[in-house]
Amino acid sequence: MLNLGAALSAGSYLLGIASLGIAVTSLSWGSWRLRGRLLPDWSGPPARLAEIVVVIAIAIGWSQLLGSLGGFEPTPVFVSLTASGLALGALARPHPSRAAKAHDTASVRQSVRQQELAAAFVAGAIVLAQWAAHVGFAFGNGMTEGDTLWYHAPFTARFVQTGFLTRWSETGLTGLGTPLHSYLPLNSEVVHGLLILPFGRDLLSPLVNVGWAAVALLGAWCLGRRHGVGLLCVLGALAVLGLPTIVGTEPGQGTNNVAVGALFLAAVALLLEGRLATIPTALAGIAAGLALGTKLTVAAPIAVLTIGIVALSLRARRWTAAVAWCVALAVSGGYWFVRNWAASGNPLPFFGFDVGPFSFERVFERRPSILDAAQYGWRRFYLPGLEEAWGRVWPLVALLMLSVLVLAVVRGRALERLVGVALLVGLVAYVQIPGTAEFGGASFVFTLRYLTFTVLVAFAFLARGIASTPIVRTVVAAAFVLIVVLNATTARMFDETKLWPSSDVLVGVLAGAVVVAGALAFPRLREHTAGEGRVALVALVLVLLLGGGWALQRRFLDQRYVNAGLTLDAAYASLRDLHGERIAVFGNQQLYGLFGTDLSNEPAKVRGPKRGSSVSRCRRWRQILSDGDYRYVVLDQQLFSDRGPAEEWIASDPAATRVLRDGTSVVYRVNGLLDPETCS
């Protein structure tokens, strides 16, 4: 049926903004009060990082609980999050005796040199301009990255449609990605879903990874703060955010590599800031659990951290820290593994393993790892892949990453050595991850993004661990800026994605200039603006954001997947204004645009017979499509995609009407039921 209300009315837009603002404000206030109660001597960036982790944990925790009961819907989520924030704020009153002893943890002296400040602004402006250009492209065309269209965003849309995060029959995740994708941890998809609920549209999805990048930069600052090199650590994080594999896949998209990097970096920063005190260790465990619930690539480093933290805590007779880490990690990171266990009998169905008397069988066949293809893939895929993913400076990136991890293990203190060992183990585990060398090693270039969290922490540690003299600090800053500048000027494409989208370069450059100018002007405005002036300034900014957001969302909804340069653009355009239609898709993985503007359509990759006579398969396919009540059938011929039924089996049925043909794709509308008996 046609959907005449795909675009948001002013009332719906304002209601969505208001509900989102109320929920976020209440959660922020509650987490601020809770942190003030539990860590009264924390303030500044470490305090803000701790509060952000609490907000994310509460939001995802409520989503998982409600989503297990079919309640991942606007009203239950809004009430739960708002009530939780207000309850925390009311109950977490500062303890007078402890508050009196508070001191400002942000007062640690930062030795910021002018050269480093200039380097940070140069690198920041370049990376921000690239990210802004990609976000602008996404707002003008929709999210177009391959994995986003394939399963990240479709999973989110299905969660929003059904209200469930768990039940395969209701969510139908296996009809979107592969069965293996359905068993991955999906915290990032839940966050996107939380931002879709207030509007019924994915208006804010292109901004999600920008938020994760901001958390990563904050974590980097906190990691170097005590050593007076916070700005250098931020510069190192910027160098990572500017790598081609990140710029080409993260800004404006539904991918999760920056998300897991930000959460893991937050865990490391909080752990080192707290020095095995119970509450900070618990917060670090929560951040680590959230990272584990976002992407499995951090599993090995987190396992090493867990063993090390327990050992160090017991040696220091701080058993409460060991308990705090383990409990926080299990509670915040165990949800998706319990779901897998309930669904398949194995919390990690990608592997077969034994735990004491319990034996867990592998559900999926083992896929090739980097080690499996090492003999013949090194020159053909691995070296070219490193250059495409990390730019022409990839030897410098790899050298810095490896050297700093070794230095952390050799020269660091106990916790720093532990982090270094964890990341080195993570590198060893990476080359053994199933699926990292599909197609003889050709997939290697795409899996290098799995190391995002490793490079993020390593580059932050580089500034923290060896930048002790002015000369060394200058060399480190120069290396980071060199990586950013050379990647921005010499790298052209990643996976057929331009690193500088030509249509939105001006948007990115302007955004970079505005943010840099704002950062420069902010200290002066704060110093010379009185209380009433600050309120007026904040009000003005909010009005501009509301007005700009209204205009941006109208443009976004009007142009989303109309002319995005994708194979199914014509199919997307023809089906975008439908509502609640079931769509069978064959020969193409890019499903997300078929959900429609209001995300109510139900596209799925339908599986059926691959063997048998032409007549028997025709009959079976027609019966499957009729039983599934599919109103539209989309056929394409993309490589590595299930072909499904032959077009003539659909076209020859009187109930099928061709809607369009564009290139290799064709769309049929099915009026009634397909008749298996007329196959010939």
For the residues of 127-182, what is the DSSP string, one character each?
HHHHHHHHHHHHHHH----HHIIIIIHHHHHHHHHHS-SS-HHHH-GGGTS-HHHH
**Is 79 within the bounds of a domain?**
no
286 close to 328: Cβ distance less than 8 angstroms: yes
**Is 319 within the bounds of a domain?**
yes
Average pLDDT of the chain, as a whole number: 88
> Which tops the pLDDT comparison, 386 or 528?
386
Same domain, 585 and 481: no
CA–centroid distance for 473 within its chain: 32
What is the residue type of 185?
P
CA–centroid distance for 92 within its chain: 31
252 close to 209: Cβ distance less than 8 angstroms: yes
Q: Return the minimum-mean-pLDDT range out of 241-255, 328-342, 531-545, 574-588.
A: 531-545
Final residue before a domain boundary, out of 458, 481, 497: 497
Measuring CA to CA, which residue among 17, 40, 130, 16 is closest to residue 92?
A: 40
Token pair of 106 as six digits = 């942000």
Number of H helices, E strands in the chain: 30, 9
Same domain, 489 and 602: no
Same domain, 247 and 327: yes
b/e for 625-643, b at 16 or more Cβ within 10 A? bbeeebbbbbbbebeebee
Same domain, 293 and 405: yes
358-360 and 353-355 strand pairing? antiparallel
CA quadruple 348, 354, 359, 363: dihedral, nearest 10: 30
Mean pLDDT of 392-419: 92
What is the structure's pLDDT at 534?
57
Same domain, 373 and 246: yes
Sheet containing strand 665-670, strands side by side: 602-605, 582-586, 632-635, 665-670, 656-662
Judged against a pLDDT cut of 50, whether residue 319 lies above it is answered with yes
Mean pLDDT of 537-559: 78
Per-residue 3-state assignment (H helix, E strand, C coil) for 481-518: HHHHHHHHHHCCEECCEECCCHHHHHHHHHHHHHHHHH
CA distance 518 to 538: 14
Same domain, 476 and 329: yes
How much of the chain exceeds pLDDT 90, in percent?
A: 63
Judged against a pLDDT cut of 60, whether residue 204 lies above it is answered with yes
Mean pLDDT of 561-580: 92
What is the structure's pLDDT at 114?
79
CA distance 588 to 569: 12
Helix, strand, coil in percent for the chain, rounding step 5: 65, 5, 30
- pTM more than 0.85: yes
What is the residue type of 252?
G
Same domain, 165 and 310: yes
Q: Which domain holds residue 474?
A: 112-341+368-497
CA distance 258 to 245: 11
End-to-end CA distance of the chain: 32
pLDDT band at 360 (very low <50, low <70, confident <90, very high): confident
Same domain, 488 and 581: no
What is the structure's pLDDT at 500?
81
What is the structure's pLDDT at 36?
94
How much of the chain exceeds pLDDT 70, in percent?
A: 90
Angle at the Cα of 295 from the Cα atoms of 292 and 301, rounded to 5 degrees: 55
Q: Return the minimum-mean-pLDDT range out of 391-400, 413-422, 498-507, 527-536.
A: 527-536
Mean pLDDT of 266-270: 97
**Is 144 within the bounds of a domain?**
yes
Final residue before a domain boundary, out of 451, 481, 497: 497
**Is 471 within the bounds of a domain?**
yes
Task: Count Cβ atoms within 10 A of the Cβ of residue 441 and give its class: 0-12 exposed, 13-18 middle, 19 or more buried.
Answer: buried
Same domain, 117 and 259: yes
217 close to 135: Cβ distance less than 8 angstroms: no
Same domain, 220 and 328: yes
What is the structure's pLDDT at 462?
86
Same domain, 285 and 168: yes
Q: Return the minimum-mean-pLDDT range out of 549-553, 570-574, 647-651.
A: 549-553
Torsional class of 317: left (φ above 0), alpha (ψ -120 to 50), beta (otherwise):
left
pLDDT band at 123 (very low <50, low <70, confident <90, very high): very high
Task: Count Cβ atoms within 10 A of the Cβ of residue 520 and give its class: 0-12 exposed, 13-18 middle, 19 or more buried.
Answer: exposed
At residue 321, the 3 state secondary structure works out as helix
pLDDT band at 105 (very low <50, low <70, confident <90, very high): low
Judged against a pLDDT cut of 90, whether residue 378 lies above it is answered with no
Mean pLDDT of 234-251: 95
Mean pLDDT of 96-118: 58
pLDDT, one tens digit per residue, over 486-529 is 999 988 777 777 788 765 556 656 666 666 566 655 555 555 55
What is the structure's pLDDT at 100?
40
Mean pLDDT of 57-81: 97
What is the structure's pLDDT at 441?
77
Measuring CA to CA, which residue among 411, 437, 404, 409 is closest to residue 421?
A: 409
Backbone angles phi, psi at 668, to 5 degrees: -120, 140
CA distance 680 to 673: 17
Q: Return the minimum-mean-pLDDT range out of 92-106, 366-380, 581-595, 597-611.
A: 92-106
Token pair of 220 as six digits = 């980097």
Same domain, 297 and 441: yes
Judged against a pLDDT cut of 90, whether residue 155 lies above it is answered with yes
> Which tops the pLDDT comparison, 529 or 542?
542
What is the structure's pLDDT at 80?
97
Mean pLDDT of 261-267: 98
Final residue before a domain boundary, out of 434, 466, 497: 497
Judged against a pLDDT cut of 80, whether residue 257 lies above it is answered with yes
**Is 265 within the bounds of a domain?**
yes
Identify the residue whose tokens are 């503007």. Answer: 597
What is the structure's pLDDT at 4?
46
pLDDT band at 530 (very low <50, low <70, confident <90, very high): low
Domain count, the chain: 2
What is the structure's pLDDT at 153?
97
Judged against a pLDDT cut of 90, whether residue 300 lies above it is answered with yes
Mean pLDDT of 451-457: 95
Backbone angles phi, psi at 498, to 5 degrees: -65, 135
